[in-house]
Amino acid sequence: MRIRLFFRVKSLCRHVTLILMFSGITSVFTQAQEVEHNYLVGPQLTNCDSLEIDDFSLGKAIEKIRGAKYRFDQKFRLTRKSGLQKGEFYSCDNQRGYLIITMDNEEFLFVSVDKSFWNELISSSDPEGFYLNSKSTLQIWNRPIDKK
């Protein structure tokens, strides 16, 4: 009986060891997917690098931005009827991009926004306060005046 118990314990240890080894391999693969490149990578499988929005109204420009393919895009939504309601960030190069903010049911489009600004906005304990205090540093999109 002691011999059988010894083999069962030894067999159990092997299974635990194998499970631990496989879980370690899984975490290595997961971490490898999150690595950012330390060199510039051009647009791949995207169409955002040639996006022309200057000749459109604000609504059409936002529609074109939302319809394009990006390397990075992220959104958040707050369930409220007024104030900051939604934010969207679209980046072709994973460094700068378009920021669409919905505030009091009105959309605002900002261009050339650093991804670091977006990261600060979504990690802020008060996203609306952060946005209101920082929006003067952002470049708002303005449709050019029609040429005659």
Model confidence over 74-129: pLDDT tens digits?
999 999 899 999 999 999 889 999 999 999 999 999 999 999 999 999 999 999 99
pLDDT-derived band at 54 (thresholds 50, 70, 90) equals confident
Closest Cα to residue 72, out of 119, 110, 27? 119
Do residues 143 and 61 make contact, with C-beta atoms less than 8 angstroms apart?
yes
Contact 137, 110 (CB under 8 A): no
Determine the distance from the C-alpha atom of residue 70 to the mean position of all C-alpha atoms in its chain, rounded to a whole number. Answer: 10
Q: Is the pLDDT of residue 24 over 70?
A: no
Residue 57: name the closest of 137, 117, 144, 136 by CA. Answer: 144
Mean pLDDT across the chain, nearest whole number?
76
**pLDDT band (50, 70, 90) for residue 141:** confident
The 8-class DSSP code of residue 49 comes to: T
Alpha carbon distance 48, 39 (integer Å): 20
pTM summary value: 0.67
Q: Nearest CA to 132 among 103, 95, 105, 106? A: 103
Cβ(4)–Cβ(12) below 8 Å: no
What angle is formed at CA 135 by the lines to CA 131 and CA 139, rounded to 5 degrees? 140
What is the model's pLDDT at position 142?
73
More confident residue, 37 or 104: 104
- Residue 6, pLDDT score: 47
For position 42, what pLDDT does the model report?
55
Q: Decide: 118 and 133 in contact? Cβ < 8 Å.
A: no
Q: How far is CA 145 from the centre of its chain?
A: 32
